[in-house]
């Protein structure tokens, strides 16, 4: 590979690699939080049903 090709490759990695890694990282973080929220909402729903009895 020539120097120009290597520079273009590094440029593409810089342009797309970092945003892609950041997006994947944030998706995994939000997924954990969404799972926790789902669990808490389910518990809240059960508590409300118990109070209505």
Assess whether pLDDT exceeds 80 at residue 1.
no
What mean pLDDT, rounded, does the chain reach? 90
pTM of the model: 0.56
The residues, any chain, with a CB within 8 Å of residue 38's CB and separated by 6 or more, are none
Going from N- to C-terminal start, the domains of the chain cover: 23-53
Assess whether pLDDT exceeds 90 at residue 19.
no
**The token pair that represents 51 in the structure block:** 């109070």
The confidence band for 24, taking pLDDT boundaries of 50, 70 and 90, is very high
Lowest mean pLDDT: which of 13-17, 22-26, 35-39? 13-17
The residues, any chain, with a CB within 8 Å of residue 9's CB and separated by 6 or more, are 1
């Amino acid at each position: 590979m020539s120097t120009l090709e290597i520079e273009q490759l590094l440029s593409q990695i810089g342009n797309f690699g970092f945003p892609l890694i950041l997006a994947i990282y944030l998706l995994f973080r939000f997924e954990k939080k969404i799972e926790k929220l789902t669990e808490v909402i389910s518990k809240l729903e059960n508590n409300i049903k118990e109070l209505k009895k």
